[in-house]
């Protein structure tokens, strides 16, 4: 029966034969890693979030696996915008799949600089502007400053004519949902991606009476099971508030077909997998695809549109 079930999805004019993608930051630093994802059952790949120049990131240990996920303070280690833009230009459409170019400047000026480079390039795919990295020392998350978000988008759309997505931090209050939606609805944004990791969590090892990662005194971003309810809330709340033309990628706590089903039920068009992809690698896309199709088969759904955004309230 699974042959009759489609996991195809789209964002704007961009078609994906599978709604599953990797999340920027995990197994996507090198062209080899990115090609492995393009060769898998994923619907495409997302590059490591690029800065204008190559960056080493924070000191180690900077990531720790945990029973319910992970904590990390990587600090945006990457090979620089030129490295990933070249890959994106050369591999857009490989195997019929999409490449999403992720960028994360350390300032608004850096973001504008990189977006101008993308605008002038031959890359015609989706660009994802990361406004939500919680692990850069001394840098706050732009996504929590709604005036700053408006400023960067105003500056961006004066020259940027290609499709743009935004990776946003988790929001926790209805005033935050309302505030960010009011800003985003004023711009021709193609999609948002929610959520990035929950920033500045702290994990303690009681045996050594110590923190478990070194940067920032042990504070780092949480991923995995810890963040799934917050991720679902952000997908749901923002789907209810954003213009229907703005698509949503759901990210956070996805390690099974049921997790994907719940994200789509809350309104996600696509999903990205981070922590679990780090543990499992590319086979996770085949496993979760099968699990999701099994769920859809049992419920009588043939396409994602059959249940997307149709979460019931009581």
What φ, ψ does residue 99 adopt, rounded to 5°?
A: -110, 125
Q: Taking a C-beta distance cutoff of 8 angstroms, is the pair 227, 276 a contact?
A: no
- Examine the pLDDT at 6 and tell me if it is beyond 60: yes
Q: Give the integer Cα–Cα distance in Å for 137 and 97.
A: 35
User: Which residue ranges are tagged as binding site for FMN?
Assistant: 48-49, 130, 167, 195, 224, 252-253, 274-275
Fold of 9-57+75-199+223-306: TIM Barrel (3.20.20)
What φ, ψ does residue 90 adopt, rounded to 5°?
A: -80, -20
- pLDDT tier for residue 10 given thresholds of 50, 70 and 90: very high
Each domain of the chain, given as residue ranges in start order, spans 9-57+75-199+223-306
pLDDT in tens, 92-144: 988 889 999 999 999 999 999 999 999 999 999 999 999 998 778 777 889 99
- pLDDT tier for residue 2 given thresholds of 50, 70 and 90: low
Q: What is the mean pLDDT of residues 248-266?
A: 98
Q: What rounded mean pLDDT belongs to the chain?
A: 96
pLDDT at 184: 98
The one-character DSSP state at 143 is G
- Examine the pLDDT at 182 and tell me if it is beyond 80: yes
Q: Give the integer Cα–Cα distance in Å for 113 and 239.
A: 30
Q: What is the mean pLDDT of residues 229-250?
A: 98
Active site residues: 133
pLDDT at 1: 53
- Examine the pLDDT at 279 and tell me if it is beyond 80: yes
Q: Give the integer Cα–Cα distance in Å for 240 and 185.
A: 12
Q: What is the mean pLDDT of residues 153-158?
A: 98
The model's pTM? 0.97
Q: What is the mean pLDDT of residues 294-312?
A: 98
């Amino acid at each position: 029966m699974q042959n009759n079930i489609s996991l195809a999805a789209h964002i704007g004019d961009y078609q994906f034969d599978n709604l599953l993608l990797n999340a920027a930051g995990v197994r996507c630093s090198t062209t080899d890693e990115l090609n492995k994802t393009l060769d898998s059952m994923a619907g495409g790949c997302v590059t490591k979030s690029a800065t204008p120049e190559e960056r080493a990131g924070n000191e180690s240990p900077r990531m720790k696996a945990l029973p319910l996920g992970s904590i990390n303070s990587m600090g945006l280690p990457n090979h620089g915008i030129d490295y990933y833009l070249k890959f994106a230009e050369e591999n857009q459409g490989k195997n019929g799949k999409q490449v999403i170019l992720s960028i994360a400047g350390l300032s608004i000026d850096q973001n504008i600089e990189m977006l101008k480079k993308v605008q002038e390039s031959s890359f015609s795919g989706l660009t994802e502007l990361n406004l939500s990295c919680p692990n850069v020392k001394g840098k706050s998350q732009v996504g929590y400053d709604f005036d700053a978000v408006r400023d960067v988008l105003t500056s961006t759309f004066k020259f940027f004519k290609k499709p743009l997505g935004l990776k946003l931090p988790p929001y926790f209050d209805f005033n935050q949902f309302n505030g960010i939606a009011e800003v985003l609805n004023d711009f021709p944004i193609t999609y948002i991606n929610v959520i990035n990791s929950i920033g500045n969590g702290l994990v303690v090892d009681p045996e050594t009476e110590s923190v478990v990662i070194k940067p920032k005194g042990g504070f780092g971003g949480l991923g995995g099971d810890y963040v799934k309810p917050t991720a679902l809330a952000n997908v749901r709340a923002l789907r209810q508030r954003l213009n229907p033309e703005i698509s949503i990628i759901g990210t956070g706590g996805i390690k099974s077909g049921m997790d994907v089903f719940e994200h789509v039920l809350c309104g996600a068009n696509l999903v990205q997998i981070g922590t679990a992809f780090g543990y499992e690698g590319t086979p996770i896309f085949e496993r979760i695809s099968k699990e999701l199709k099994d769920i859809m088969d049992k419920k009588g759904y043939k396409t994602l549109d059959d249940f997307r955004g149709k979460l019931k309230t009581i």
